[in-house]
Structures are given as structure tokens and as C-alpha cells.
Amino acid sequence: MENKKALPVLFAVMFLVMVGFGIIIPVMPFYAEEIGATPTQLGLLMAVYSFMQLLFAPMWGRVSDQIGRKPVIMIGIFGLALSFFLLAVSSTLWMLFAARIIGGFFSSANMPTVMAYVADITSEEDRGKGMGIIGASIGLGFIFGPAIGGIFSQTNLSLPFYLAGALSVVTCLFVFIVLKESLTPEQRNKQLRERTPLRAAFKGPVSILFILQWFVSLSLASLEATFAYFAYERAQLSAVELGYIFMIMGLAGALVQGGLVGRLTKKYGEGSVIQLGIIISAIGFGLILFIDSFVTAAIFLTVFGVGNGLIRPSVSSLLTKASPTGYGRTTGLLSSFDSLGRIIGPPLGGWLFTVTIGLPYMLGIALSIFALILYRVYKAKAHTPVPGT
């Protein structure tokens, strides 16, 4: 049932969650190094977080189907706050790993449950718009979070972690006071009675959409891990200039998701928007190979960002319409495939970069072509008509 009042609340919740998460990004390498972590151990600290999300996002999605969205969102945010405070007081490497494991476990509840909430409260016609709004909030959070973290880290390296923890506590209270439950008691009881196994969400043609999203996530993670080196090799861009470039790309992606995805999916259907996004992303990957200055880097990366911004909300929307299981199970599984891409993408991209510096972006083009083929296969196999060609 449509509930337009809840969407701005969900936007604020995910924005605050991602600001809190983003605050620690520029600080974490220096903080871990101060405690004694090697570059390899730092990489493992980052990977273990995504690995926990890979394992537990489907579980939290299933739990939200059974007990409701609001309590699971609150548990996820509270657990994230706990992990930030643990990071702030960490004095040894094992404490850092424990905090990251706890953070990955609890934070894996947030994204799938919020997306399932959006699916609960939107009509099929407006589903793409709702998913796009959540995507925009995440993008904006990632823009503001690192900037805030960088500013506060100049005073004390542990201060951003306390700030992120405090922000998460405030967000949890905000959810408790303002957000209403989207699942009725009857809907929750129905899910408890049926107890559909998780594997049911991966059955039939819909499984192709999960793999498509994995390709997209893999290519994005590969780009993010190598672009700084590539931009320095081709245009001698500094860390500050790279920060501006990623900020421009993030803003463009947020604008596309917040304002354009809903209109396009409503008019042309999710299928058309997914294919358009994949084609634009592939063009962006190709253009990146030709950067030679700050301006070309900003423009070409933004082209890629616009394409990428069209895909995820549209895939999420289409999956919640096509999947035979509860929304939480579906969005949880989708989050797992995203995490799998983030785990494999950076080391794969790094290795390809050492072979030939443009190879990660050639991989991006190839994966985009595969994703386009996968979508056409899905459309041919889908039992129900797919919105968009």
C-alpha cells in the first residue's frame, strides 16, 4: 500500500547511516596503521566487513519478513553504533577485527530491510522511484561522510569513530520515534507460517538478475580499487583532485537515482532502464581509458556513474516484482551478491592493473556486455511480461 510519508523518513535514515559509515573511510587506513596493521591486514579488515554482509544479509532479510522491518532496521543501526565505539577504543589488531566483524554482521541488516520496506509501501508502478530515492540517499551519505571524517580526524584519529557511533545512536532513536512498521501482523504471521526457504528466492529466471547485479558490482569495485593509480599514471591527478572527481560522480549518480529513475521506470519499465544503464556504464568504462586531465576524468567517470546509478534501483524494483518469496529474502540475497562483487572486485582489479593498466576497465566493458546478454536471457525466460523491452 502506498505510503508517501515513509519515503522521506527512509531517505533520512539511510542518509544518516551512510554518513556515519562514510565518516570512518578516510581515517581507517591511518588508524589501523597506528595500531600496527600492515597493508595486507588493512585489506583483510575491509574484506571481512563485506564478507560478513555476504553471509548474513539474506538472514536479516528473512528475519524482517517474519518479525517486521522496523525492529530489524533498529537492530542493524544499533549494532553499527556498537562497532564504531569498539573501533574508537581499539588498542590492538584483534579488537579492530572484532569491531569490523560485529559491524559487518549488524550493518548487513540495514540495506535489504530498507529496500524491503520500500517494496512494502510502494505500488508496482512507483517501485522504481522508491528504490531510486534510497539509492540517492546512500550516494549523498557517501559524499558527505568522508568529508566530515577527514575534517574531524585532524584533531584526533579516534574522534571520527565516536562521531559515527553517536550519529548511529541518534539515527536509531529517530527510527524508533518516527518510522512506522510497514508489515501488518497478518503479513508477519503469514511469513512465519510459510517459512519459505531462502533458496526459493534464487529459483527460476530471477536468479539471472542476481548474477547480473553481481557483474555490475564486480566491475564497479574493480574500478574503485584501481582508478586512483590509473588517474595518476595518465593525468598525474592528486588525492584532492580524485576526491573532487568522486564527489562529482556521486552527486550525478544521486541526482539520477533520486530524480530520473522513477520517471524512466514509470514510463518505459525497469527492463529498458536496466539496459540503458548497462550501455551507458560500458561507454563510461571505454571513455575512462582516454582520460588525460582532471576535466576528462571528471566527465568520463560521471558518465559511468550515471549509467551505474540507473541499474541498481531498477534491478531491485524488478526483483521485488518477479521474486516468488518475501521482499526481505529477495533484497537480502541481492545485498549478498553486491557484497560478493565488493570482495572479489578489488583484488581482481588490482591484479589486472599490474598486467596492463587499462585492463580493469576493459573487464568492465566485457562484464557490461555479459550483463546485457544476461538480461535478454532473463526476459526470454520470464514467465510474466517484463516491464520495458
**What span, in angstroms and rounded, lies between the C-alpha atoms of 365 and 359?**
10
User: How many CA atoms, within 13 angstroms, populate the side-chain half-sphere of residue 85?
Assistant: 11
Is pLDDT at 248 greater than 50 in this prediction? yes
Is pLDDT at 198 greater than 70 in this prediction? no
Least-confidence region, from 134-148, 184-198, 282-296, 363-377: 184-198
- Site of grid cell 600492515: 38
**What span, in angstroms and rounded, lies between the C-alpha atoms of 6 and 121?**
8
Q: What's the pLDDT score for residue 45?
A: 86
363 pLDDT band, cuts 50/70/90, is very high
Q: Which residue pairs, CB below 8 angstroms and at least 24 apart, start in 187-195?
A: 188/65, 188/66, 188/67, 188/68, 191/65, 191/66, 191/326, 192/66, 195/66
38 pLDDT band, cuts 50/70/90, is confident
Residue type at position 306: V
Q: What digits encode the pLDDT tens for the residues 70-126? A: 999 999 999 999 999 999 999 999 999 999 999 999 999 999 999 999 999 998 888
Domains and CATH numbers, the chain: 1-195 (1.20.1250.20), 197-389 (1.20.1250.20)
Average pLDDT, the chain: 89
Q: What's the pLDDT score for residue 201?
A: 63
Q: What's the pLDDT score for residue 2?
A: 47
Q: What's the pLDDT score for residue 1?
A: 41
Using the CB atoms, write b or e for 254-274: b if 16+ within 10 Å: bbbbbebbbebbbebbbbbbb
Q: What's the pLDDT score for residue 384?
A: 57
Average pLDDT over residues 304-308: 95
Q: What's the pLDDT score for residue 386?
A: 58
**What span, in angstroms and rounded, lies between the C-alpha atoms of 312 and 367?**
15
Least-confidence region, from 21-30, 146-155, 198-207: 198-207
Q: What digits encode the pLDDT tens for the residues 126-171? A: 899 999 999 999 989 988 888 888 888 887 888 999 999 999 999 9
Q: What's the pLDDT score for residue 142?
A: 85
- The pTM for the full model equals 0.87
Least-confidence region, from 83-92, 246-255, 318-327: 318-327
Handedness of CA 82, 14, 348, 371 (dihedral sign): positive
**What are 7's three cell numbers?**
519515503
Q: What's the pLDDT score for residue 293?
A: 95
**What span, in angstroms and rounded, lies between the C-alpha atoms of 149 and 338?**
25
- Concatenating the DSSP letter of every residue in 167-219 gives HHHHHHHHHHHHPPP-S-HHHHHHHHHH---GGGGG-TTHHHHHHHHHHHHHH
